[in-house]
Chains A and B, each alone.
Chain A
Amino acid sequence: MIRDHFRVLTVDLSTSRGNVVSLEGRDEKAGGSGLAALLFNKYGHPNKPWDDPDQPLIFAIGPLTGYFPLMSKTVGAFKSPYHDQYAESHAGGRSALALRFADLDALVIVGRAKGPVCLSVGQRHLEIKDVSFLWGRDVFFTGKTLRNMFPGGGHRSILRIGPAGENKCAFACINLETYRHFGRLGAGAVMGAKNLKGIVIQGGSSFALPGGKEYPNLFQEVYSKATATDMMSKYHNLGTAANLDALDKLKSLPWRNLQQTSDLAIKGITGDRFADDTLLRNMACSGCPVGCIHIGFVREKFMEPNRYLYRQVSYDYEPIFATGSMLGVTNTFSVLNIMEIVEKMGLDVMSSGVALAWATEAIEKGIVSEKETLVDLKFGDAESYKEAVRHLGMGSNEFYRLLGQGTLKAAEHYGGAEFACVLGQEMAGYATGEVFLTAQSLGFRHSHLDTGGYSYDQKHKDKNVEKVVDFLVHDEESRVFLTSMVSCLFAREVYNEECLADCLQSVGYTALADNMEAVSRHIQKLRWQTRVATGFDPKGMSIPKRFTEVTTWKGPVDEDYLDTLKSEYAKRILELAEDVA
């Protein structure tokens, strides 16, 4: 619903009570990233640890959610178990539209339930059910059971965690709608710490739209851009998996714990190969006609003669990089098999793959042995990785419990920090050069999507520090406005400033439309201030040696240039964190 304030539902799991709160700030914080930061400042505790029951788990949507195509994402915000600082993680699925039609701008969950529960919320509905029988169950079983336990099929979002979240793995994800995730920085552990196994969001309300032709005509225009032009074709064709071949050719694809950046074996795991061999169908987030979700299949002969079962696994560039090239696994079906276990455990696939790549090299170098890893990890050996993923999710021994707190945590104990591929968190699959290394290390979400640093690397060979830092700051500023609407970042070409202003204007958010630049700068600063208040020191971030040994299309990584970029970007971030009005 269009309103000049925020309507927020807070739920305290300790008391099983909810409260509907009206909050001012629409014209300054917009929604999404801005609203999440506002809510963390209201309900969060910078000096208490991430798993303190008082810490909030926040889900926020934006002013354009559901009103326009690809305005289909939800911002999750929490104090992260990975670094014990404020963090955001974004997901699609049905969560954004379900919140919209539950008539909520945000859901804030505080407290800790006495035992495992599932929270169900909707327009006229709040219920907390005991689900102790689901504790220890994997993500898929949990999802299917919750489907049967709660009404509202089709128009609801079901968020759930697997064993990794229950075991407070620092990179446990929240799975939703089977194929989507609040993937990074440990949102799943935050649910685990609250004894919250699942969240069902039911969206059943309807809202009157603005009269006249302006809104439906603008919708049609945006819809046409998203479906009938080349702007989005990459995403509904091969999907992001198309990047595998492209980045390998650019010598920018991390292989075998980043010991290489290209390999002839790429031909086994290209986007084309995945589509030709494994692609079953596409799916979409609610409200997005693009359908970028690619669902592959694996089948398994479980009994002679000819008794098979099949599984469906969603794939993308990042999961293929993490469980494919990074682990030296070069068969499409083997890659999907590893991903499927990652999904069941409720782990972030990128961190899992990168952490196991480190563990494999640690075995090669004799730093750890099978005594710690429980299986003999070898690059390319998919079966051993499937076992290792289970151990990681279950926290089977001290080694896996430490590794599940982050690769550098394990390296602190066992050694091998120099070859840990960690840039704030386990790396994304872009060994493109110094700009990306800086951007992910210091980026707000430690995500390659915080800024287009990886893209900058691919287009620029020059080493102009000021130009790069300006680019990173301004690119983040424009992206933070999109994540406050909340748009999918894949639509960033569709939603240029003019288009966003028209969209906001057409549904009645005139003040936001007129002040987009000031609002995005304000949200950018607010997010950094919130992060710094919880302990982030950008000057203290170090980049492991392995990254300086990389050769990309531009040649070997220039360590001095990287150091200068890092220190200048850190300075700018600290300036941004000052003086929020």
Chain B
Amino acid sequence: MNNLTTPRMERCIGCHSCSLACARLVHKNLSWDTAGIRIVSSGGLSTGFQARVCFACNPAPCATVCSTGAFSQRKGGGVVVKKKLCIHCGECARACPVDAIYLDSTGEPFVCIHCGHCVPFCPHDCLEMVKVQAEPSTEEHTMEVKS
């Protein structure tokens, strides 16, 4: 199981190639919005860029609030999307704590499905697919803090 990560966003040049690739290859759209990854400046262009992308939560708040099963928990984090089941209520986007879900003008949600199509289109290798265990062990989430 692979997850999309964004470990090197300091390198981002703001070309939007990742968003455009996701829209083009996954959703068959020309768009920089209807994509699982969106690039925004982090407070003006002089401060670099951030990726609005799924953090692969497990459990995923967006899946928890989905009342029709359109979003369901993905093994390894994030969600499995079944568009046909979606009623465009928008609860998933409201539940996402990191603004990773885009709702288009009809209320259709767009979220990263961790497929990795965007990765080769980043000219600076900001993005990376990382192998994850389907059931992450608790040790991975434990950090010792020393003062």
Contact = CB atoms under 8 A, between A and B. Distances in A.
Interface of A: 66-67, 69, 97, 100-101, 124, 143-144, 147, 153-155, 177-179, 203-209, 211, 216, 219, 223, 227, 236, 281-291, 293, 312
B128 interface: no
Interface residues of B, number: 29
Nearest to A210: B28
Nearest to B49: A154
A209 B39 contact: no
Query: Closest 5 CB pairs between A and B?
Result: A154-B40, A206-B31, A284-B15, A291-B13, A284-B13
B14 A284 contact: yes
Interface in B44-73: 44-46, 48
A286 B32 contact: yes
Given A153-B41, A206-B33, 16 more contacts: A66-B30, A69-B17, A101-B31, A101-B32, A154-B40, A154-B41, A179-B45, A206-B23, A207-B31, A208-B30, A209-B30, A211-B28, A281-B48, A287-B16, A289-B123, A290-B123
21 contacts: A66-B30, A100-B30, A101-B31, A124-B105, A147-B44, A178-B44, A204-B33, A204-B105, A206-B29, A206-B30, A206-B33, A206-B34, A211-B28, A236-B123, A282-B13, A284-B15, A288-B15, A289-B123, A290-B15, A291-B13, A291-B123
A208 B28 contact: yes
A223 B121 contact: yes
Contacts of B104: 206
A285 to B, nearest CB: 7
Contacts of A290: 15, 123
A287 B20 contact: yes
Nearest to A179: B45
Interface of B: 13-17, 20, 23-25, 28-34, 38-41, 44-46, 48, 104-105, 121, 123-124
Contacts of B24: 209, 216, 219
A179 B14 CA distance: 13
Contacts of B16: 97, 286-287
A309 to B, nearest CB: 12
Nearest to B27: A206
Contacts of A69: 17
A283 B45 contact: yes
A178 to B, nearest CB: 5
Given A155-B33, A227-B123, A284-B14, A144 B44 contact: yes
B28 A285 contact: no
A285 B13 CA distance: 8
Contact of B40 (A100, A153, A179): A153
B10 to A, nearest CB: 8
Contacts of A283: 13-14, 45
A216 B29 CA distance: 11
B44 to A, nearest CB: 6
Contacts of A155: 32-33, 38, 40
A283 B23 CA distance: 22
Nearest to A180: B45
Contacts of B124: 291
Nearest to A100: B30
Nearest to B110: A206
A286 B30 contact: no
Nearest to A143: B44
B44 A154 contact: no
Given A97-B16, A284-B13, A291-B123, A178 B46 contact: yes
A155 B32 CA distance: 8
A177 B32 CA distance: 17
Contacts of B34: 206
A207 B30 contact: yes
Given A283-B14, A284-B15, A287-B15, A207 B29 contact: yes
A209 B29 contact: yes
B19 to A, nearest CB: 9
A203 B31 CA distance: 9
A580 to B, nearest CB: 33
Nearest to B30: A207
A227 B13 CA distance: 14
A205 B30 CA distance: 9
Nearest to B29: A206
A289 B30 contact: no
Most chain A beta-carbon contacts within 10 A, residue among B13, B25, B105: B13
Contacts of A293: 13
Contacts of B28: 208-209, 211
A147 to B, nearest CB: 6
A441 B6 CA distance: 49
Nearest to A283: B13
B104 to A, nearest CB: 6
A201 to B, nearest CB: 13
B45 A216 contact: no
A108 to B, nearest CB: 23
Given A209-B24, A216-B24, A219-B24, A286 B38 contact: no
A177 B16 CA distance: 15
Contacts of B17: 69, 223, 287, 289
Nearest to A154: B40
A66 B20 CA distance: 9
B29 A154 contact: no
Nearest to B23: A206
A287 B14 CA distance: 9
Contacts of B25: 216
Contacts of B105: 124, 204-205
A178 B121 CA distance: 25
Contacts of B41: 153-154
B15 A285 contact: yes
Given A283-B45, A286-B15, A291-B15, A97 B32 contact: yes
A282 B123 CA distance: 11
A207 B32 CA distance: 10
A509 to B, nearest CB: 14
Nearest to A153: B40
A398 B104 CA distance: 54
Contacts of B30: 66-67, 100, 206-209
Nearest to B122: A289
B140 to A, nearest CB: 31
A101 B45 contact: no
